[in-house]
Structure 1
Amino acid sequence: MTRPDTPWPAVNEMIELRPGTVTTIASLPTAGRSTLTLNMALHNALKGVNTLYTSSELTGDSLTEKAVTAMYGIDLRHREAPLGGWEAFSDRAKAEVEKLPLLFQSVSETTPEKAFRKGSVESQRRGMKLSLWLLDTLVHFSELTHTGRDYADYATAMAQARGIAHEHQIPVVITAKALNEEEDEPLTAEHVHPDVMKLSDQVLLLHREGVYWTSGPTSNDATITRLKPATDPTEVVSLRFNPRLCRFAAFGINV
């Protein structure tokens, strides 16, 4: 049976997406964590891994368009015309993505348990036994409170995600916010919510220069740092982000 992994060999040396584990990818807003996990979902589906991708921010049609853009290297979202004409390509490419063992789920604010239950029912209807679940992003699946950092109950949401990973013996990948106070403050494990750090088996930090503190990132050079399990020296991998094509290199799929 094909085991889930990431599209980037250097990242696969950092982490292992083992059944029953929760891996969190944290970043400042707009760093690209949704695209990063979408790349992971598409990569695994193309290998035949039954994958559920749950988003609180994008519709199923938007996710399909981003997947087509990443898979074919053609910007479907801005109607970049491929050879042979727009309509023919769009119909064919979307059909190819929809044939993959990849279920895109767009849900409003809820909990991990409710979201997974809904996605699991749909996957069973399609004859898919899930082997990987990606949840984007944690804050939208955490009940709001009036105390504590971010005013969200991350402890309960993370506990639910861990329960799903253990019960169904699948790896669960979650995206979460990292928060810093000043523009030049280097991101560390201290900038990830303590409940997220505690209840994750593995934590990766995605970073791009200029994210959050300016009108947009100042560079498409990205780094992924492993925060948990911690190592000395800290493990860091460099990637190149292409926002227009929804890809982090080396995402080497180009049909």
Structure 2
Amino acid sequence: EGKHRGGDLKTRSTEPVSAVTGSPLTAALPASTTGKKSIVLSSETRKELGKQTKVTKEERRAQIDERHRYLISRLADGIGLSEQEVEEAIISDDKFQLLEQFFAPNGLKKLLFFYQDVLQQKTNASLRSDGSTNSLLHKKLFITMGSTEDFTGTCAFFLRTSDKAVTASNVSQEMNFGIFDCSNGNILQGLEFFLSQIMIPALKSQQTWGAVKEGLKNSQIQDFLYSVDTFVGTLSSSRQNIEDKIQLTKMDIDIYLGNLQNPSDYITAG
């Protein structure tokens, strides 16, 4: 009998037992109480991820040289952020490697940044055991390929002028920088402003056109500028047509059909 009791002790659960059901007490407690263990684990996981993120950011910060500084300076001036804010956004971006691809010989031809409102998901596991989230809009500067995110704010772009490697000594000569503002949500208006107020005046004031010796007097150059002017005019017309579009509203047809009693009424109404 003593051996039998000893066997019971070895197999007995170490969890507290409910006096009502005889089942482990954790099964009888509310989910909010029993979920504490998983919440602690998720908190530890978040802390570990935070440490890894911090290490990654510091490694990237150590890679920043004069080429990156040039980009950061132009972005800060163009968008209206401090250089520290721009640097923090860049080293925190999961597309950070695109900068090196842009600097490399025969690398990316363009490097795009969006600065606009984005949804930030915040999960508070200690308050919400179901894992539900709160969504908050906040301004964010991020690197983009331009094909996956909707464009609703400001686009800053760098364009390569050759296939040479971008170095600290030639960074200002090997790329062009520009800002395309769509903060009002109207892409056509933003493009129209960019071309009419920035690009066309710059083109018309340009003195040298490469191999074309005559410059602005050359017929091909004049045709090109005329086509750009025409395109801007088309943009303006398209924008105005869209803004003046006809909006259909739902009508209560019962008001009109209620008095139609027989076929002759329908014929008269038609």
TM-score normalised to structure 1 length: 0.21
- The structure, 1 or 2, with the larger RCO (C-alpha pairs under 8 Å, 6+ apart) is 1
Q: Which has the larger radius of gyration?
A: 2
TM-score normalised to structure 2 length: 0.20
